[in-house]
Amino acid sequence: MESVSSGIAATAAIGFAADLWLDYRRRPRPHIAAYAAGMTLFAIATTCLFIGVTLGWSGPVYRVFFLFGAVLNIPLLALGSMFLVAGRRSGHVMTIAIGALAAIATTLTFTVPFEHPLPESGIPHDMFASGFGPRLFALVGGASGATILLVLSLVSVFRFWRRDRAIVWGNALILAGTMSAAWGGTGLALGEAGGFALSLLLAVSFIWAGYRVATGRNRRPGRGEGPKGESEEPQGEHGVDHLERERA
């Protein structure tokens, strides 16, 4: 079951990451780049998970899986929302903070020795010791990133409740996906791997569905556009729900 779930999640994450990078190629924006980077790490982590549960774990595969899947991907998704909701200055400040988090977490994840031997099957859940180490940074990254996304998503939901229900429902799905990923990553950091593969599959499914629901209507020209197809609606709304409002 873990092999099937992780394989489907990896395939979906790769497709979603490619979709976001294509959006960034059409309209280079910092929030799109942040979302695409976060989903790329998600895709790499789920691919490592699939390799580990299917072919067996190795030290490098597990360390990449833990770093990208439990520590860094949620903060990068939160960074995308920060750029779009709070503006570039706040986004740049958060980028510096994530850079510091990534530098320390990467160093620890690839240098701290394992507490136990890697298992022959299943998902390892207690490889690192508690205290100051990779598990602590997974908790910090997951909790802070999920909190930021939760707050910004709720702000966007209230802002668009009367104006555009598609954005509201899209945000609800994105929030559900983020909470799924945070639940799985936090559980792994606490030493509980049960349901982790399923949490990743739910996360990518909800986030991609939310992205499509919230932006699908804006792919059709004519509504709120100027003579050159440029949106006349205000910018600075929530990340994924407004990727398509910033037309090149």
CA distance 14 to 118: 26
- 82-86, 138-142, 146-150, 244-248, range with the lowest pLDDT: 244-248
Instruction: Mean pLDDT check: name the lowest of 75-89, 136-150, 161-175.
Output: 161-175
Average pLDDT, integer, range 186-206 = 68
Flag whether pLDDT at 241 surpasses 70.
no
Q: In the prediction, which pLDDT does 226 show?
A: 36
Task: Tell me which residue has tokens 């037309």.
Answer: 247
Whether pLDDT at 140 is above 80: yes
For residue 231, the cross-strand partners are 225
% of the chain with per-residue pLDDT over 70: 75
Q: Rounded to 5 degrees, what are φ and ψ at 225?
A: -115, 150
pLDDT band with cut points at 50, 70 and 90 for residue 194 = low
- Of 1.10.3720.10, 1.10.150.20, 1.10.40.30, 1.20.1070.10, the CATH number of 2-245 is 1.20.1070.10
Residue indicated by tokens 């909470």: 179
Closest CA to 33 of 83, 71, 90: 83
A 10 A CB-CB count for 4 gives: 13
Mean pLDDT of the chain: 76
pLDDT at 40 exceeding the cut of 90: yes
Work out the average pLDDT over 34-51.
89
Mean pLDDT lowest among 3-12, 53-62, 89-98, 219-228: 219-228
Give the pLDDT confidence score for residue 105 in this predicted structure: 92
Q: What is the mean pLDDT of residues 92-96?
A: 94
Helix 134-160 / helix 165-189 crossing angle, nearest 10 deg = 170
Read off the pLDDT band of 237 (50, 70, 90): very low
Distance CA 121, CA 217 (A): 44
Cβ-count burial 69-88 (b if 16+ within 10 Å, e if not):
bbbbbbbbbbbbbbbbbbee
DSSP H helical segments within the chain, as ranges?
A: 2-26, 30-55, 59-66, 73-86, 88-111, 134-160, 165-189, 196-216
What value does the mean pLDDT take over residues 219-227?
40
Task: Give the start-to-end residue ranges of the domains of the chain.
Answer: 2-245
